[in-house]
Amino acid sequence: MSVTVYIPREATALSLGAQSVARAVTEEAARRSLTVRVVRTGSRGAFWLEPLLEVQTAAGRIAYGPVQATDVPGLFGADFLAGGQHSLRLGPIESIPYLNNQERLTCGRLGVIDPLSLDDYRAHGGYEGLKAALPMEPAAIVKAVTDSGLRGRGGAAFPTGIKWKTVHDAPGSQKYIVCNADEGDSGTFSDRLLMEGDPFCLIEGMTIAGIAVGATKGFLYIRSEYPHAIEVFGRALKIARDENMLGSGVAGSAYDFDIEIRVGAGAYVCGEETALLDSLEGKRGQVRAKPPLPAHNGAFGQPTVVNNVISLASVPVILADGADAYRDVGFGRSRGTMPIQLAGNVKYRGLFETGFGLTLGEIVDDIGGGTASGRPVRAVQVGGPLGAYFPRSYFDTPFDYEAFAAKNGLIGHAGVTVFDDTVDMARMARFAMEFCSIESCGKCTPCRIGSTRGVEVIDKIVRGERRAENLKLLEELCETMRFGSLCALGGFVPFPVTSALTHFPEDFGGAPIAAAAE
Residues in the chain: 518
**Binds 485: which of ligand FMN, ligand SF4, none (CB < 5-8 Å by kind):** ligand SF4
**Binds 153: which of ligand FMN, ligand SF4, none (CB < 5-8 Å by kind):** ligand FMN
The residue (of 66 and 285) whose beta carbon lies closer to ligand FMN is 285
- N-terminal to C-terminal alpha carbon distance within the chain: 67
**Binds 156: which of ligand SF4, ligand FMN, none (CB < 5-8 Å by kind):** ligand FMN
Q: Does 184 contact ligand FMN by CB under 6 A? A: yes
State the minimum distance, in angstroms, from the CB of residue 154 to ligand FMN: 3
Site string for ligand SF4, 284-303 (x = CB under 6 A): ---x----------------
Q: Find the binding residues for ligand FMN in span 254-273 (CB under 6 A).
A: 268-269, 271-273
Among candidate residues 433, 263, 351, the one with its CA nearest the CA of residue 49: 351
Neighbour count for residue 426 (Cβ, 10 Å): 20
Distance CA 318, CA 204 (A): 12
- 3-state helix, strand, coil split of the chain in percent (to 5) is 45, 15, 35
Q: Which residues contact 114 (CB under 8 A, 6 or more apart)?
A: 39, 40, 41, 120
* Strand bridging mode 304-308 / 176-181: parallel
Q: Find the binding residues for ligand SF4 in span 401-460 (CB under 6 A).
A: 440-444, 447-448
The residue (of 21 and 222) whose beta carbon lies closer to ligand FMN is 222
**Binds 444: which of ligand FMN, ligand SF4, none (CB < 5-8 Å by kind):** ligand SF4
Q: Contact 262/219 with Cβ under 8 angstroms? A: yes
- DSSP string spanning 451-517? HHHHHHHHHHHHHTTTHHHHHHHHHHHHHHHHHH-SSHHHHHTHHHHHHHHHH-GGGGTSPPPGGG-
**Binds 442: which of ligand SF4, ligand FMN, none (CB < 5-8 Å by kind):** ligand SF4
Among candidate residues 445, 471, 517, 14, the one with its CA nearest the CA of residue 226: 14
**Binds 448: which of ligand FMN, ligand SF4, none (CB < 5-8 Å by kind):** ligand SF4
Q: Does 279 contact ligand FMN by CB under 6 A? A: no
Q: Which residues contact 97 (CB under 8 A, 6 or more apart)?
A: none
Q: Does 152 contact ligand FMN by CB under 6 A? A: yes
Among candidate residues 252, 237, 172, 171, the one with its CA nearest the CA of residue 206: 237
The residue (of 216 and 445) whose beta carbon lies closer to ligand SF4 is 445
Q: Contact 451/493 with Cβ under 8 angstroms? A: yes
Query: Does residue 115 have a cis bond before it (omega within 30 degrees)?
Result: no
Counting beta carbons within 10 angstroms of the beta carbon of residue 14, is it exposed (0 to 12), middle (13 to 18) or buried (19 or more)?
buried
Q: Give the angle 171-175-179 at the CA atoms, nearest 5°.
A: 140
Q: Say whether 90 sits in a helix, a strand or coil.
A: strand
Instruction: Select from 212, 229, 250, 489 the one that contacts ligand SF4 (CB under 6 A).
Output: 489
Distance CA 298, CA 163 (A): 12
State the minimum distance, in angstroms, from the CB of residue 289 to ligand SF4: 8
Distance CA 66, CA 255 (A): 45
**Binds 404: which of ligand FMN, ligand SF4, none (CB < 5-8 Å by kind):** none
Q: Find the binding residues for ligand FMN in span 482-501 (CB under 6 A).
A: 487-489
Q: Which residues contact 296 (CB under 8 A, 6 or more apart)?
A: 166, 170, 303
Tell me which stretch binds ligand SF4 (CB under 6 A): 180-188, 252-260, 332-340, 486-494.
486-494
Q: Does 307 contact ligand FMN by CB under 6 A? A: yes
The residue (of 8 and 490) whose beta carbon lies closer to ligand SF4 is 490
Distance CA 189, CA 187 (A): 7
Q: How many residues bind ligand SF4 (CB under 6 A)?
A: 14
Q: How many residues bind ligand FMN (CB under 6 A)?
A: 22
Q: Does 158 contact ligand FMN by CB under 6 A? A: yes
* Strand bridging mode 304-308 / 89-92: unpaired
Tell me which stretch binds ligand FMN (CB under 6 A): 62-70, 175-183, 213-221, 472-480.
175-183
The residue (of 217 and 443) whose beta carbon lies closer to ligand SF4 is 443
Q: Does 267 contact ligand SF4 by CB under 6 A? A: no
The residue (of 112 and 269) whose beta carbon lies closer to ligand SF4 is 269
Q: Find the binding residues for ligand SF4 in span 347-376 (CB under 6 A).
A: none
Q: Does 477 contact ligand SF4 by CB under 6 A? A: no
Q: Does 305 contact ligand SF4 by CB under 6 A? A: no
**Binds 158: which of ligand SF4, ligand FMN, none (CB < 5-8 Å by kind):** ligand FMN
State the minimum distance, in angstroms, from the CB of residue 481 to ligand SF4: 8
Q: Say whether 39 sits in a helix, a strand or coil.
A: strand
Q: Does 306 contact ligand FMN by CB under 6 A? A: yes
State the minimum distance, in angstroms, from the CB of residue 439 to ligand FMN: 7
What does the binding site for ligand SF4 look like in residue numbers (CB under 6 A)?
269, 287, 440-444, 447-448, 485-487, 489-490
What does the binding site for ligand FMN look like in residue numbers (CB under 6 A)?
152-156, 158, 180, 182-184, 268-269, 271-273, 306-308, 311, 487-489
